[in-house]
Amino acid sequence: MFGLWQSQVRYFPGWRKACQSPRILKGNPTDEWSEDISQLPPDMQRLWLETREVAANYYGPNFANYASGTAWHAVLGRMYPQAPNPSVLREPKNLIVLARMVEYVSVENAPQLTVVRFGPNVNIEQNMPEDGPIRIHHVPEEPDLMWEHDQKYLLAMPGYLLPNDTRTPKAGSKAYKQFKTWSKQKPAYERNLDIPAYELWPLGPADTVVYRSTKWTDKRDNQKGAQEYIHQFGPDVVANMAPGEEAFVFEGGKLDMVAAGIIN
């Protein structure tokens, strides 16, 4: 870490309670990925085919179109690798809580998929070899998934403790409007946060993120409003991690947040 950034996060009471009850996974709109790999070098064609097969088995028939996207993430990550150098978390100006972070998948070791699952009660397959087609890692905490609109990144900080001090949100502020855009509800309060200036190491291309949200729910404490969503990132979105798994950051490409959800 390199000091602290002071920012603000806005969300409503009852949000954590409402997001404890997962529902059937719903897919956010994703790009239509090309199936034409004829222009790729032979080794990249093999990587594309092997990665798509692994992804198709993991995501299943309901999300069959995701497999091609995963394959392209793998190829683009191999052909245009990230420099293995750390960076520092860009200063957050205003943060809003979008959801609870449930899972993310990256392809830094493609055709193997790296799956990180968050939460104390997740199911981890037994006897899964480290060198198998899917490597699953467990993080005990299920963190808030936050959006920084000015800097265009998603931030999750497992184990981060929110301060108790809250105040009435300022109607009309940028974060206030962003929260209403996302949730179709008014935030109930806001608070200041001291965000560590994390040292971030690139993990490679980010493939998908699964989050649990009560966006578009009429009643804030409605358990039935909690819904799990899966979103596939577009090209050039990179997953970054702070040492000790203190923070995960997704940034790059055309990543953005609009009324329809997370887009690329």
Indicate the length of the chain as a whole number: 264
Q: Which is more confident, 184 or 137?
A: 137
Residues pairing with 225 in the sheet? none
Calpha distance 141→161 (Å, rounded): 11
Tokens describing residue 3: 């000091």
Q: Are 66 and 58 in contact (CB under 8 A)?
A: no
Residue 5's pLDDT is 62
Q: Which two tokens stand for residue 188?
A: 């109930």
Q: How do the domains of the chain map onto residue ranges?
A: 4-34+85-263
pLDDT (tens digit, 9 = 90+) per residue, 6-34?
A: 665 544 434 344 444 443 455 554 557 88
pLDDT band at 43, cuts 50/70/90? very high
pLDDT value at 46 more than 60: yes
Summarised one tens digit per residue, pLDDT across range 200-256 is: 999 889 999 999 887 765 554 444 567 888 899 988 899 999 999 999 999 998 888
Per the structure block, which two tokens stand in for 33? 């990925």
20, two tokens = 């404890």
Higher pLDDT, 93 or 209: 209
Helix axis angle, 64-79 relative to 42-59, nearest 10°? 140
Coil, strand or helix: which one is 249?
strand
Please report, for the chain, how many H helices and E strands are present, in that order.
4, 15
pLDDT of residue 184: 74
* pLDDT for residue 27: 54
| Model pLDDT, residue 73 | 93
Q: DSSP of the chain, one letter per residue?
A: ---EEEEEEEE-TTHHHHTTS----EEPP--------TTS-HHHHHHHHHHHHHHHHHH-GGGHHHHHHHHHHHHHHHHSPPPS--EEPPPPS-EEEEEEEEEEEE-TTTTSEEEEEESTT----TT--TTSSEEEEEES---EEEEETTTTEEEE-TTPPPPS--B---TTSHHHHHHHHHHSS---EEEEEEEE--EEEEEEEEEEEEEEE-TT-SSTT-GGG-EEEEEE--TTEEEEE-GGG--EEEEETT-EEETTEEE-
Cα R_g (the chain), whole angstroms: 18
Give the C-alpha separation, 190 to 237, whole Å: 29
Cis amide linkage into residue 41, ω under 30° from 0: no
pLDDT, one tens digit per residue, over 240-262 is 999 999 999 999 988 888 877 78
